[in-house]
Amino acid sequence: MNRQQIISEWFHQYSDDIYHYLIYRIGATDVEDLVQEVFIKAIKGFHSFEGNSSPKTWLFSIARNIAIDEIRRRSRQRWKEKIFIQQQTHLENESSPIMIIAWKEEAKELFNMIQSLKPHHRDAII
């Protein structure tokens, strides 16, 4: 059996379990896409599966990493939206174009500085 056939068999065996795990970890939105991503990564990384654990354990470790990445992505997106809303509110109260440009530059610099921090420091600041 080639790797696609093996992964296909694992998909039929474990996709429901991985689906439920991802719903528990991140909520119900876009979970189907993330389940597919788990198995795509499994196909690409099949050479790294050594058989020291069960296929289900290996697939769940991939699902865990994908869930962590998705949580981080969503957190960054919410943070960016929050900054944009605050920026729009602030800009509406400003009348001088020079003040608006200065504030935008300051906000951009702050955002870049926060993004350059280590993840755990960034989480504390945000």
pLDDT in tens, 20-77: 888 888 876 678 889 999 999 988 888 788 778 888 888 999 999 998 888 888 777 7
Q: Is residue 124 part of a domain?
A: no
4 pLDDT tier (thresholds 50, 70, 90): confident
Asked if residue 88 is part of any domain, the answer here is: no
Domain extent, residue 9, equals: 3-73
* CATH code assigned at 39: 1.10.1740.10
Question: Considering the domain boundaries, does residue 50 fall inside one?
Answer: yes
Q: Is residue 26 part of a domain?
A: yes
Whether the full predicted model's pTM is greater than 0.75, yes or no, is: no
Is residue 47 one of the residues assigned to a domain?
A: yes
Structural domain tally of the chain?
A: 1
Please, are residues 17 and 56 in contact by the beta-carbon 8 Å criterion? yes
Distance of CA 31 to the CA centre of its chain: 12
DSSP 3-state of 117: coil
61 belongs to a structural domain: yes
Is residue 55 within 8 A of residue 49, CB to CB? The reply is yes
